[in-house]
Chain A
């Protein structure tokens, strides 16, 4: 009981603080402070609940335990991170997005491809592509190559659909202007349409970051060498070592956010002219 009371106090206190903060005029500081207070409160209340109600560690470990496990097993986590995120997800991401980009330019060039391939692409984007994981694991072996292959298939269609949509985003007026400058197909593509497509392309790239990590992790459930985030999660769940599972999830969250954040920063640099990026 002695832990439940502080938990309640922290919760009410933080909530009151947040209400006061939102009444203040909006500033960068309150914008940052409010969500941070919210997040910290959740972790504090979680800690107090686990200790107060004496929830067994095999059900839900306390944040402090997770942090301790994280700190003590950094070598394992690093090996898993390199295996899954760098070798599996990043390789697949680069190959998948790169090839989807090239195919999208082809699709945009030829109307027949557009009419034939786009409906199929749209359809495929909604399918549970993750189901191809066992087949690709069978074809490419247990190591990271098969994970990269799953990621390629997963990111290809969202990226293709977004890029094609982006390439069609220029108006007739803009294209006519390029024609009056006597610009050919390639200079129109490079100077007008590709820059104009950038917001859509980055939308596809951002969706693909999460998909690539998910693909690499889930593909490891179907077979992997004795390292990797998906492997560690599924075996540790079997051993009821939930603190290690949560530590692995923290790694996944950090990797996912960093990956997404990196692409978002790149987007800000490339599409500085777009209304959504202006401040």
Chain B
């Protein structure tokens, strides 16, 4: 445990140190400008103190971001529009809804592809080809078109998340459902198993490791989809809206705190799937 923790911690400390140094470097110009106008000479300690406490710095220092996160999560009421928990909740609900829809659709399509030759030969090449296309580019269009039809709120964002998260699940599940080898399939046939039994007792259980791995990728993709989906809605609510509003008004501290919240959200959601994976695979005796 210690041999693993020490290097990671070292790097975390190095990153934070570099961050502080970069904050001095990037914010120095503005500090010198201010000092020149006030007619004071800056010595090094003043410079450092100023660069770490500016209101709209080019790079906010870690403690500024930390203070902003603390203020907007703990000290604000959850229902307040300035609470990051409120915005994270909006993004998370779109992410999770899109992820569930995408995973369900992906599994259904994978089962179709594994059991039907027509599906396999006609759909699968397109699923693979669609991975090479920057799908995220159409996110603004989906939002606007669905708005025009009268669908607003959570669903358009969830649709984008669904679209992004369903490809990894299809590819992973097709691989997983095909992972039993010919010998195992023959064994099922010698037991006179029906196709349903073959699916429930052999193919589905052996696809589980693939399933969880692709779910992790799908969850990360889904979060990206939800954040990008919030950009064109005019910055109303959600972490993506906070990013956009922050970049319009030069509120760098707000951008960084939204970014760190998004990172935490991703870590929590992917971590949950990881925990589920360990639990399931352990009970199945696979890990």
Q: Which residues of B contact A217 (CB under 8 A)?
A: 134, 136-137
How many residues belonging to B are interface residues under a CB distance threshold of 8 Å?
A: 59
B-contact bits for A202-229, CB 8 A (1 contact / 0 none)? 0000000110011001100111000001
Q: Is A270 in the interface zone, CB < 8 Å from B?
A: no
Q: Is B190 in the interface zone, CB < 8 Å from A?
A: no
What is the minimal beta-carbon distance from A104 to any residue of chain B, in angstroms?
15
Complex Cα–Cα for A33 and B259 (A): 46
**267-282 of chain B: CB within 8 A of chain A:** 267, 270
A-contact bits for B121-134, CB 8 A (1 contact / 0 none)? 11111100101111
Contact A210 B262 (CB under 8 A): no
Q: Which residues of A contact B159 (CB under 8 A)?
A: none
- Determine which of B141, B223, B247 lies in contact with A128 in the assembled complex, contact meaning CB atoms within 8 Å: B223
Complex Cα–Cα for A230 and B137 (A): 7
Q: Is A39 in the interface zone, CB < 8 Å from B?
A: yes
Q: Is A249 in the interface zone, CB < 8 Å from B?
A: yes
Task: Knowing A126-B270, A135-B259, say if A222 contacts B137 (CB, 8 Å).
Answer: no
**168-192 of chain A: CB within 8 A of chain B:** none
Q: Which residues of B contact A222 (CB under 8 A)?
A: 243-244, 247
User: Which residue of chain A has the shortest Cβ distance to B240 in the bound complex?
Assistant: A131
- Could you pull out 23 A-B pairs where Cβ atoms are within 8 angstroms? A38-B122, A116-B7, A116-B10, A123-B267, A127-B220, A127-B262, A127-B267, A131-B259, A132-B259, A138-B252, A214-B134, A214-B135, A218-B136, A218-B137, A221-B140, A221-B231, A223-B247, A230-B137, A233-B140, A245-B138, A252-B133, A256-B134, A257-B129
B interface with A by C-beta (< 8 Å) = 3-4, 6-8, 10-12, 15, 26, 58, 117-118, 121-126, 129, 131-138, 140-141, 144-145, 148-149, 216, 220, 223-224, 227-228, 231-232, 239-240, 243-244, 246-247, 250, 252, 255-256, 258-259, 262-263, 266-267, 270
